Chain A
């Protein structure tokens, strides 16, 4: 009997240790930005029709669900239609969602809707694209991405592979897009006048469309007999265009850009025949949404606000030094995933292939 009491005590002690341990573990898993107040959250995309957005959406969902206080997660796609994006925001607020994370693709056109939702007492966090306005007046907080930081990272790498200066070609998206202008400012803050930009000011317009990129690059290759580095803020759109160098009997030059599985695999395939093809990538920035979600959840649930409010994309691949990563290619996965994202490649594959 004595023996059984002792055994029971021991079991009780073990059970208590396990129980305490588990609760500690649970507490450790709950991030500091997740407060105790129950809340619902929605992610509103201005345009959700590409793989980058789908990976970003899945990343946002994963981040929000890290917080047990979040009881519901919703998503709406504006499908590139400003009117729909505006009505999506208002509809989510009317449905009683507490926190809204908004990708305001239409820019300042979205500000009145954002402001009206903020004034009605909701938490609203626009991210990545500036809509104008001020934090605390029009919205809770704007979580920008530091494209200037990307430009600086590219500039530093270009200096390291081309210390004597050289000819650069800078390609960005639609005419006058602020991302391209910020990146150019970053590049110019690092590179001196010995680095000559061959493109018309401020950058070659590609609309991030692979067909237009190909046409633009064709003209630039024919016009400039010496291109030392291409800088582009959307690497995967270059995959179809870079073989044009072969048509002209030239090696693909060094490339400073953002990452993508298709680009990594392309580099792996052709780098032997193209001795000048060095590759440097920064993360494409899918994780920008995570910081925005953290701000929204922290504000809605009473958690600790993150310290940062600007997302700085980390350097991802460097074919010269192999640091922080050598060029990566996963042939088992589709070309349209981003190995730099925190979301696992397998989860990205699921996100991209779910329609």
Chain B
């Protein structure tokens, strides 16, 4: 009896002292990532060398940033398919508008952010106010965004400015700059979501819109803003990709849609909305990226590479679909 009392009293204190995400998702993704690193060390040591990591981490950072954007929408029970268009539009604006002139980079980025806010408002308006299905609404907005991509670029890639290459493709203290961008985004998203009043309301609305409406919270406004925040993060990812790849295609966002959803799911956030796990999402982004580097480093044929990734994803999602706690209770319950 005393032991139980102690545990119930001590644990919350400990949790307060160490506010790390304690969810099953966090443990799962960390254990999976550690297992992957061990597998890399055993079977493809080259994929965890410093040279390989410094080349691949920028892409993990990009997946992390778009994953955080998708996370915010998923938390509101939504789904954002306009990610591809949003990222691609930011890419073409930040490369086509400056035309190689560093002085025009800042205005270009500001234009890209303005476009992102408009796209987010359009998504949010359609989903939260007009009550359209998020998949339908965001597919429509994605088509509009791709229209804008063609209007800006004609589908043609442009070489990026030297300043953007230095910012996004450069390194500070031997770490790729994109890592800092991803970590800063993570810090802001985590802090606002978990420690601010607005963030707590945001999560509560995602978990139960009806109850929170009854309490008097602005449910529609929070749902609408989720799409705006997401688009701003996609825009940031797009600008960074433009710097990393130097001559990005006009469709650079296409390959990010699936990973963005995958990392949200691997991070343990329910697709039905509610509580979000930003730290686990970012770790999942590293996991997913490292997995593809592992497959490349092992040197298996391309078909096998895609199978390895699909299996790992299937495993990751499978872990959450099994109700471990339910099983454990069944086993321990006295009969």
Residues in A neighbouring B241, C-beta threshold 8 A: 211
Q: How far is the CB of B38 from chain A (nearest CB, A)?
A: 18
* Given A200-B299, A336-B157, A219 contacting B52 (CB threshold 8 A): yes
Residues in B neighbouring A216, C-beta threshold 8 A: 296
Asked if residues B156 and A222 are in contact (CB atoms below 8 Å), the reply is: no
Asked if residues A223 and B299 are in contact (CB atoms below 8 Å), the reply is: yes
Task: Indicate whether A146 reaches chain B with its CB closer than 8 angstroms.
Answer: no
- Kindly supply a per-residue 1/0 record for chain A positions 116-142, scoring 1 wherever the CB is within 8 Å of any chain B CB and 0 otherwise: 000000000000000000000000000
Residues in B neighbouring A215, C-beta threshold 8 A: 55-56, 59, 292-293, 296
Asked if residues B49 and A222 are in contact (CB atoms below 8 Å), the reply is: yes
* Given A51-B156, A240-B244, A200 contacting B255 (CB threshold 8 A): no
Complex interface residues of chain B between 16 and 72 (CB less than 8 A to chain A): 44, 46-47, 49, 51-52, 54-56, 59
Task: Indicate whether A48 reaches chain B with its CB closer than 8 angstroms.
Answer: yes
Asked if residues B156 and A262 are in contact (CB atoms below 8 Å), the reply is: no
Task: Indicate whether A194 reaches chain B with its CB closer than 8 angstroms.
Answer: no
Segment from B117-125, B246-254, B276-284 that makes contact with A = B246-254
Asked if residues B247 and A175 are in contact (CB atoms below 8 Å), the reply is: no
Residues in B neighbouring A354, C-beta threshold 8 A: 154
Asked if residues B51 and A336 are in contact (CB atoms below 8 Å), the reply is: no
- Kindly supply a per-residue 1/0 record for chain A positions 252-288, scoring 1 wherever the CB is within 8 Å of any chain B CB and 0 otherwise: 0000000000100000000000000000000000000
Q: Number of A interface residues at 8 Å Cβ cutoff, please give it.
A: 39
Asked if residues B247 and A214 are in contact (CB atoms below 8 Å), the reply is: no
Q: Which of B44, B55, B171, B255 contacts A214 (CB 8 A)?
A: B55
Task: Indicate whether B334 reaches chain A with its CB closer than 8 angstroms.
Answer: no
Asked if residues B297 and A219 are in contact (CB atoms below 8 Å), the reply is: yes
Residues in B neighbouring A262, C-beta threshold 8 A: 159, 247
* Given A211-B252, A219-B293, A336-B156, A236 contacting B56 (CB threshold 8 A): no
* Given A49-B155, A51-B156, A212-B255, A222 contacting B52 (CB threshold 8 A): yes
- Kindly supply a per-residue 1/0 record for chain A positions 20-63, scoring 1 wherever the CB is within 8 Å of any chain B CB and 0 otherwise: 00000000000000000000000000001111001000000000
Asked if residues A221 and B248 are in contact (CB atoms below 8 Å), the reply is: no
Asked if residues B296 and A210 are in contact (CB atoms below 8 Å), the reply is: no
* Given A49-B155, A200-B302, A335-B159, A210 contacting B47 (CB threshold 8 A): no
Asked if residues A50 and B249 are in contact (CB atoms below 8 Å), the reply is: yes
* Given A222-B297, A244-B55, A335-B158, A211 contacting B247 (CB threshold 8 A): no
Q: How far is the CB of B194 from chain A (nearest CB, A)?
A: 32
Q: How far is the CB of A211 from chain B (nearest CB, A)?
A: 5
Task: Indicate whether B301 reaches chain A with its CB closer than 8 angstroms.
Answer: yes
* Given A247-B51, A335-B159, A49 contacting B248 (CB threshold 8 A): no
Residues in B neighbouring A212, C-beta threshold 8 A: 255
Asked if residues B51 and A214 are in contact (CB atoms below 8 Å), the reply is: no
Asked if residues B247 and A239 are in contact (CB atoms below 8 Å), the reply is: yes
Task: Indicate whether A237 reaches chain B with its CB closer than 8 angstroms.
Answer: yes
Asked if residues B297 and A240 are in contact (CB atoms below 8 Å), the reply is: no
Residue in chain B with minimal CB distance to A209: B249
Task: Indicate whether B245 reaches chain A with its CB closer than 8 angstroms.
Answer: yes
* Given A201-B301, A219-B47, A219-B293, A334 contacting B159 (CB threshold 8 A): yes
Asked if residues B157 and A51 are in contact (CB atoms below 8 Å), the reply is: yes
Residues in A neighbouring B296, C-beta threshold 8 A: 215-216, 219-220
Residue in chain B with minimal CB distance to A263: B247
Most chain B CB atoms below 10 A, which of A214, A222, A262, A353: A222
Q: How far is the CB of A24 from chain B (nearest CB, A)?
A: 42
Q: Which of A48, A205, A211 contacts B155 (CB 8 A)?
A: A48
Most chain B CB atoms below 10 A, which of A211, A262, A336, A354: A211
Task: Indicate whether A218 reaches chain B with its CB closer than 8 angstroms.
Answer: yes
Task: Indicate whether B106 reaches chain A with its CB closer than 8 angstroms.
Answer: no
Q: Which of A54, A205, A223, A237 contacts B156 (CB 8 A)?
A: A54
Task: Indicate whether B192 reaches chain A with its CB closer than 8 angstroms.
Answer: no
Complex interface residues of chain B between 284 and 300 (CB less than 8 A to chain A): 292-293, 296-297, 299-300
Residues in B neighbouring A95, C-beta threshold 8 A: none
Task: Indicate whether A248 reaches chain B with its CB closer than 8 angstroms.
Answer: yes
Residue in chain B with minimal CB distance to A77: B155
Task: Indicate whether A355 reaches chain B with its CB closer than 8 angstroms.
Answer: yes
- Kindly supply a per-residue 1/0 record for chain A positions 215-239, scoring 1 wherever the CB is within 8 Å of any chain B CB and 0 otherwise: 1111111110000000000001101
- A40→B326 CA distance, assembly (Å): 73
Asked if residues B52 and A211 are in contact (CB atoms below 8 Å), the reply is: no
Q: How far is the CB of A248 from chain B (nearest CB, A)?
A: 4
- Kindly supply a per-residue 1/0 record for chain B positions 246-283, scoring 1 wherever the CB is within 8 Å of any chain A CB and 0 otherwise: 11111110010000000000000000000000000000
Task: Indicate whether A65 reaches chain B with its CB closer than 8 angstroms.
Answer: no
Q: Which of B150, B169, B292 contacts A355 (CB 8 A)?
A: B150
Residue in chain A with minimal CB distance to B303: A175
Residue in chain B with minimal CB distance to A55: B156
By a beta-carbon cutoff of 8 Å, the part of chain B in contact with chain A is 44, 46-47, 49, 51-52, 54-56, 59, 99, 150-151, 153-159, 169, 171, 241, 244-252, 255, 292-293, 296-297, 299-303
Closest 8 CB pairs of A and B: A49-B155, A218-B55, A222-B52, A219-B296, A240-B246, A355-B154, A248-B51, A335-B159
By a beta-carbon cutoff of 8 Å, the part of chain A in contact with chain B is 48-51, 54, 175, 200-201, 205, 209-212, 214-223, 236-237, 239-240, 243-244, 247-248, 262, 334-336, 352-355
- A sample of 17 cross-chain residue pairs with beta-carbon separation below 8 angstroms, ordered by A number, consists of A49-B156, A49-B251, A50-B156, A211-B59, A211-B252, A211-B255, A214-B55, A214-B244, A215-B292, A218-B293, A239-B159, A240-B246, A240-B247, A244-B55, A247-B171, A336-B159, A353-B154
* Given A205-B302, A210-B245, A223-B47, 14 new contacts (CB under 8 A): A51-B156, A54-B154, A211-B245, A211-B248, A214-B59, A214-B244, A214-B245, A218-B51, A218-B293, A221-B51, A223-B46, A240-B169, A248-B51, A336-B247
